[in-house]
Amino acid sequence: MHKIQMADLFGQYQRIKGEVDEEMQEVITNTSFINGPAVKAFRKELGEFNQVNHVITCGNGTDALQLALMALDCQPGDEIILPVFTYVATAEVIALLKLTPVFVDVCPDRFTLDLEQVKARVTSKTRAIVPVHLFGQCAEMEALLAIAEKNNLKIVEDAAQSLGAQYTFSNGHTQYSGTIGDLGTTSFFPSKNLGCFGDGGAIFTNHEALGEMAWLMANHGQKVKYQHEVIGCNSRLDTLQAAVLRVKLKYLKEYEAARRSLADFYDAELAGLDGLITPKRFSDTTHVFHQYTLKVEERRDELKTYLAEAGIPAMVYYPFPLHLQKAYAQREFPVGSFPVAEQLCKEVLSLPMHTEMKEEQREYIVRKVKEFFK
Ligand SMILES: *Cc1c(COP(=O)(O)O)cnc(C)c1O
């Protein structure tokens, strides 16, 4: 049996090697390395996929979040509401722009923003909410949009883990994650659902002016070379990465189906084990399984070690909530302030999840997990 990996990037490359190599070679031959034709084509194709009017590519998913907040003209002191259980990037850009991160707890089964806490933490200084569609499932967007509308707030969706996930409103209308708020962002980090061969990211919006501003800001604030209209930065998607992404985008639905089929298998095989809870699904959102995340009562670390010794990597996303990270600690939030997130950090364990899992590998994984709980 081949070695089991958390994400099998090489296996995925091998299946599309011919196409990818050819597209990359073309970029090299044309030497159009920055904002070349493949970038333009990819922006258009991703917009068609996601059913959104404007796609602004940039250097990575963290920059995408920063650029989205910059495009909204957020000012120092503005309060931005975000979940305390997320990847650090979400809080980092808020702090870097001298905005004030306002942490709220998450729902225990959905891992996304707790709506009651969001409402409770809105003040006259609140400018925006940044829902994170964690692990591949959408936050409760309909309710969040209502809160935003009532309080005149903007929404920037962090869709780094949820590209392709669809949210269904109560009237039956569906929309892709990242295209529902004022702006949405995603990442093409290699292990993300649509990963390139390095760093990459994008911003989505249906607001033309916001889209133009984000594009300007990602390109030194210039539309015309050497004419700088606003203060920007340098954050671009390499043409080589765009060439890779154009090929992989064609397979994204297939990749999503492979992930879901592995998740269905895990669900069926691991249901009902005492002390282990499989991921909950919700009727208003599809799940694209960036991660397949279990909750393990009490024996999480023991299970992780047991699996590691059996050659199965499993990862803890995330071991600490943001308010307990040194860089983001705030005096008013000691241990115990966000009990759900704190508990999740002790219980979550993500199993190997990728598009290349072999039958014998997945059988072996569930056998070992079951063995542990015997
Ligand atoms: C990966 C990730 C990011 C950052 O993306 P990079 O491309 O690595 O900068 C932001 N938010 C979340 C939730 C992520 O998972």
Domain extent at residue 198: 9-250
Q: What is the mean pLDDT of residues 197-214?
A: 98
Query: Given this model, what pLDDT does residue 305 score?
Result: 98
Q: What is the mean pLDDT of residues 70-77?
A: 97
Same domain flag for 226 and 344: no
Of the three residues 204, 221, 250, the one that is the final residue of a domain is: 250
> Residue 128: which pLDDT band, with cuts at 50, 70 and 90?
very high
**CATH number for the domain that contains residue 361:** 3.90.1150.10
d(CA 187, CA 269): 31
**CATH number for the domain that contains residue 98:** 3.40.640.10
Residue 109 lies in a domain: yes
Strands lying side by side in the sheet with 348-351: 276-277, 292-296, 348-351
Query: Given this model, what pLDDT does residue 353 score?
Result: 97
Verify whether ligand 1 is closer than 6 Å to residue 86 (CB atom). yes
Q: What is the mean pLDDT of residues 196-201?
A: 98
pLDDT over 90 at 374, yes or no: no
Q: What is the mean pLDDT of residues 113-132?
A: 98
Average pLDDT of every residue of the chain: 97
Residue 4 lies in a domain: no
- Atom number in ligand 1 closest to CA 63: 9
Same domain flag for 278 and 144: no
Residue % of the chain over a pLDDT of 90? 98
pLDDT over 90 at 71, yes or no: yes
> Residue 11: which pLDDT band, with cuts at 50, 70 and 90?
very high
Verify whether ligand 1 is closer than 6 Å to residue 160 (CB atom). yes
**212-254, pLDDT tens digit by residue?**
999 999 999 998 889 999 999 999 999 999 999 999 999 999 9
Residue 29 lies in a domain: yes
Residue 195 lies in a domain: yes
Q: What is the pTM of this model?
A: 0.97
Ligand 1 centre to CA of 193 (Å) is 12
> If you write DSSP's letter for every residue of 191-231 in order, what string do you get?
TSSS--SS--EEEEES-HHHHHHHHHHHBTTBSSTT-B-S-
pLDDT over 90 at 331, yes or no: no
pLDDT over 90 at 361, yes or no: yes
Same domain flag for 257 and 245: no
Same domain flag for 26 and 62: yes
d(CA 168, CA 71): 27
Residue 3 lies in a domain: no
Same domain flag for 84 and 224: yes
Q: How many domains does the chain have?
A: 2
- Atom number in ligand 1 closest to CA 201: 7
Same domain flag for 217 and 282: no
- Atom number in ligand 1 closest to CA 192: 1
Q: Are strands 54-58 and 183-187 parallel, antiparallel or unpaired?
A: unpaired
Residue 356 lies in a domain: yes
With tokens 């309060």, the residue in question is: 79
Q: What are residue 350's DSSP bridge partners? A: 293, 315
Same domain flag for 52 and 192: yes
Same domain flag for 143 and 38: yes
